Amino acid sequence: MDELRPYWMGCLDEPSRPVARPFGMKRSRLAVIALLASLCACGQSGAGPVPAVAGTETIVLPRAEQPKAHRPTLERLKREAASSGRPLEEVVKQYAARVAATSSPKPTDFEGYDPAVTDPDVVIDGIPYAELVDLGAIAKSEGISYEEAIDRFGSQSSNSRVIDKLNAEFPDEISGVRYVDDQRGLRVGFKGPIPTRAIELARTLPMEVTLIGGKGFSASELRRARDTVVSWLRSRPEVATMTAHSDEETGQIKVTVQPKMMPDDAEGFKRGLQLPQLDNPDITVEVTLSAESVAVRPQ
């Protein structure tokens, strides 16, 4: 899911790519991404408020004025769980099993198929059951109810389709997309003015959306600038290990370098790296020195 790519970019020198798996397998990409959002060691978590950043234009679409997620089957199952005194997760599981039992058989010839551990190939209110299973794991890891997990994370697959459209229609304008406020809101930045079409797409999301225009850089420019800096530092003989990530909120590339020999004059060492001049003055570089290895060795 590209909308959550900043979490990866904040932790790795190169963004990781999800591995495809057969539909209906036990683990889904949703759980991996949502858990990474809260557990990423770099501190660029998508949960919680994000400080305001410079921009010439801001449009906020309040959640109260956005469309509501339409989940009639899950609402019915909630009522059934409440009246029977059973956990909603158990009721959902039994419902999925009943639907799967009466549906046409699905292909089972993919590698690793095991009916004992493979979730029913069922979709409930637009959410694959495999993702609903993952939401149960997320609820436990986050210390929240299953109902709240569905409310907060249940729309991520459908949201992804809208975010994919934003990225596809404005590849040179998008400066970053990220979840905020415990996954209840979304922030979308633009290099220049906020496109009218982007507002139209944002109005289809069941959450508060903040659009920020005039940030002065795009995500693609930021990635290219990061790659330029990384490539240069990897060529420097005085660098033992290094890592870098780009901050799509601020347009800053944050680099940590472990010198082969820790200098007495840190600022002089940084100047001596002779970092390349970037094309976009709105993109800046911050270098921090570390006496310990930062894992990524120059090639």
pTM for this model (two decimals): 0.70
* Residue 25 to residues 17, 22, 112, 122, Cα–Cα distance (Å): 18, 6, 9, 11
Classified as helix, coil or strand, 159 is helix
> Contact 274/260 with Cβ under 8 angstroms?
no
Beta bridge partners of 242: 257
- pLDDT over 80 (residue 124): yes
- Interatomic CA distance for residues 116 and 97, integer angstroms: 12
Alpha helices in the chain (DSSP H): 5-9, 29-39, 72-84, 88-102, 129-142, 146-153, 156-169, 196-202, 219-234, 266-272
Which tens digits make up the pLDDT trace of 58-103? 999 999 999 988 899 999 999 999 999 999 999 999 999 888 888 7
Which tens digits make up the pLDDT trace of 23-56? 334 444 444 444 434 333 333 333 333 444 566 8
- Interatomic CA distance for residues 201 and 63, integer angstroms: 14
CA nearest to 186, candidates 204, 167, 200, 207? 207
- Interatomic CA distance for residues 98 and 10, integer angstroms: 42
Q: What is the pLDDT of residue 175?
A: 95
- pLDDT over 50 (residue 176): yes
Instruction: List Cβ<8 Å contacts ≥24 apart for 162-166.
Output: 162/201, 162/202, 162/204, 162/205, 163/1, 163/2, 163/3, 164/2, 165/201, 166/198, 166/201, 166/202
pLDDT bucket at 121, cuts 50 / 70 / 90:
confident
- Tokens 């769980």 map to which residue? 81
Which tens digits make up the pLDDT trace of 213-235? 999 999 999 999 999 999 999 99
Q: What is the pLDDT of residue 1?
A: 37
> Contact 172/218 with Cβ under 8 angstroms?
yes
Q: Take residue 15 and report the two structure tokens written for it.
A: 């963004």
The helix or strand, by DSSP H or E, that contains position 21, with its residue range, turns out to be none
Q: What is the pLDDT of residue 103?
A: 72
Residue 260 DSSP symbol: S
Which tens digits make up the pLDDT trace of 125-160? 888 899 999 999 999 998 999 999 998 888 888 899
